Structure 1
Amino acid sequence: MSSTTPPKLGDTSANVVPLRPAVTEEWFSRLFTDYARLVQRYIYRRTSSDAVEDLTAETFATAWRKRDEIPEGLELQWLYKTAGFLIANYNRKRKPVLLEEFPEIAHDSDPAIYVIEDAALRSAFYRLSEKDRKVLILAAWEGQNSEQIAQALDISPNAAAVALSRARARFSKLFSDESTDAGANTNAATDTL
């Protein structure tokens, strides 16, 4: 027989699972203060500007609801991953607009791309797959390393390192091809003058 006595009927204290000491309102306040701006920038680069506040709020609301599931030390990656899911759902609900001609700068795509003024660079970047673009943006604009990218994309660190290496190689090849084509077009245009 067991030496411990079972809890009395109606005694709910035995069923209460205490929160980790770090997971409190103070912890959440610090989480929001430390990462809200980074999450907001992450979302802004991936969707329309009118959805940024709502998606940021939903990301942190989800963080509060799932606060016990957030790995200690990986809070930002968890927030990026959650924001990524919310962005995907938001973008999936939007109606696509058919274009006769691709615009010079896509107004409904990643705003971070607006800073790319070189046509060959922009063209090469847009020709990459969505996964390649996502990996490169996490590495370049968000400053994430392979382990952090792995957390954000829910893949292994080795898979993230391989994905980043391959995305860089594909981008380099596309950019080289675009630059060569742009140079040939420029030379052909100046020859006709």
Structure 2
Amino acid sequence: MDHRADGAWFTSEVAAHLDAVFRYFLRRAARRDADDLTAEVFATAWRRREDIPGEAILPWLYRTAGYVLANHRRRMQSIPSSLPDAPLDDDHAQRIADVDEITRALARLSERDREILLLHAWEGLDGNELADALGISRSGAQAALSRARSRLRAVWEPSMQDDGSF
């Protein structure tokens, strides 16, 4: 019997990433949709468990989550905020200004550049994991991340110079 047919393998190896996938959706979709989107990813993972690479489970889940989110957005005909709730701090006004600055800079990037940067910065993917999540080679992922960072700097730096902040 293949170990992937075993519910215990799925629970210990795949479902162990439930919180990470849920947080992925919290940062990219409306809070009310995160549970359903997460459930859809894990239903897909169960159906396609034979396709999940044992050494790259989380990147495979993120890649699947990207497809699920794209399908959800097409169904909803609107794109919800792609930024998470910022952590609370003492200066609420500054936090709002910072989130606004980030939002404006990210909005000026392509969807692909935003996804690469968010997978790297928020999901913590690098190297092979980032490559697996993007469905490209490791060197391709490194190049794509480098280009996305350059484009972010290019759109962010002019806005910082305009108002003297940041």
Fold equivalence (TM over 0.5): yes
- The aligned residue for residue 125 of structure 2 is 144
Contact 1:123–1:178 (8 Å) recurs in 2: no
Q: How does 1:85-100 map to 2 (within 5 A)?
A: 85-96=67-78
State the alpha-carbon separation in 2 of the partners of residues 172 and 34 from structure 1: 35
Pairing partner for 2:141 from 155, 160, 163: 160
* Post-superposition offset of 1:22: 5.2
Report SS of the residue matched to 1:76: helix
Identity of aligned residues (%): 39
Change (3 A) 1:32 1:155: closer
State the alpha-carbon separation in 1 of the partners of residues 27 and 70 from structure 2: 13
Pair member with larger Rg: 1
- The aligned residue for residue 13 of structure 2 is 31
Let me know the Cα RMSD of the aligned residues.
1.9
Q: How does 1:1-193 map to 2 (within 5 A)?
A: 18-19=1-2, 21=3, 23-96=5-78, 108-112=80-84, 114-115=85-86, 117-118=97-98, 119-183=100-164
| 1:10-67 CA distance string (max 9 Å, x none) | xxxxxxxx42x35511011113552000000011111111111111111111111111
Contact 2:117–2:145 (8 Å) recurs in 1: yes
State the alpha-carbon separation in 1 of the partners of residues 44 and 69 from structure 2: 13
* Post-superposition offset of 1:120: 3.5
TM-score (norm 2): 0.85
State the alpha-carbon separation in 2 of the partners of residues 79 and 146 from structure 1: 16
Q: Which amino acid aligns with 1:89?
A: N
State the alpha-carbon separation in 2 of the partners of residues 121 and 53 from structure 1: 26
State the alpha-carbon separation in 1 of the partners of residues 5 and 64 from structure 2: 18
State the alpha-carbon separation in 2 of the partners of residues 125 and 64 from structure 1: 33
Change (3 A) 1:74 1:84: same
TM-score (norm 1): 0.74
Q: Which amino acid aligns with 1:38?
A: A
Change (3 A) 1:52 1:27: same
Whose helix fraction is larger, Structure 1's or Structure 2's? Answer: 2
Contact 2:4–2:49 (8 Å) recurs in 1: no
Q: Which amino acid aligns with 1:144?
A: L
